[in-house]
């Protein structure tokens, strides 16, 4: 699993003018499911995200995690984080999971995040979405479960 994690002051996601989710201070996660991912990958990434010390304390140092500040999370399914452009100019997405598998794992990932008792909103799987993110910092972290085990 891959995730692009962005710290935000507020964010929202819409599909066809329908508001799907809104958050205030917290994280936007663009989550990609790989074709070899399992529940272990989902748990690894979720645990890494909620414990990332990327929020500032009173002295301005990044020592606080989403759990520490009760951050809100907006999780967006995004297979394009698996785009491989090492050869040519058109991204190759063969490492991304097929939609049937990815949908199930993405929903499980959202459920894992919700189990941490944080507010978690999400987009709509396979929908064309408009996402507004007000980056805070900016702070952007890239996570890959295959590089963490």
Full-model pTM: 0.95
**Domain encompassing residue 98:** 2-147
Q: Which two tokens stand for residue 85?
A: 């452009």
Cα(61)–Cα(116) distance, integer angstroms: 24
Instruction: Look at residues 39, 32, 53, 21 and name the one whose alpha carbon lies nearest to residue 119.
Output: 21
Q: What CATH number does residue 139 fall under?
A: 3.50.80.10
CA distances from 100 to 85, 104, 108, 128 (A): 24, 7, 13, 17
Q: 34-89, pLDDT tens digit by residue?
A: 999 999 999 999 999 999 999 999 999 999 999 999 999 999 999 999 999 999 99
Q: How many domains does the chain have?
A: 1
pLDDT of 135 above 90: yes
Q: What is the pLDDT of residue 65?
A: 98
Q: What is the pLDDT of residue 2?
A: 98
């Amino acid at each position: 699993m891959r995730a692009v994690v962005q710290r935000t002051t507020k964010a929202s996601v819409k599909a066809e003018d329908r508001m799907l989710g809104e958050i205030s201070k917290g994280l936007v996660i663009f989550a990609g499911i790989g074709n070899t991912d399992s529940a272990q990958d989902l748990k690894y990434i979720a645990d890494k995200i909620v414990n990332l010390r990327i929020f500032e304390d009173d002295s301005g140092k990044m020592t606080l995690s989403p759990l520490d500040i009760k951050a809100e999370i907006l999780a967006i399914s995004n297979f394009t984080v698996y785009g491989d452009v090492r050869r040519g100019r058109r991204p190759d997405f063969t490492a991304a999971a097929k939609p049937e598998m990815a949908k199930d794992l993405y929903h499980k990932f959202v459920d894992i995040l919700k189990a941490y008792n944080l507010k978690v909103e999400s987009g709509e799987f396979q929908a064309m979405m408009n996402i507004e993110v007000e980056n805070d910092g900016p702070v952007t972290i890239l996570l890959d479960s295959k590089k963490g085990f």
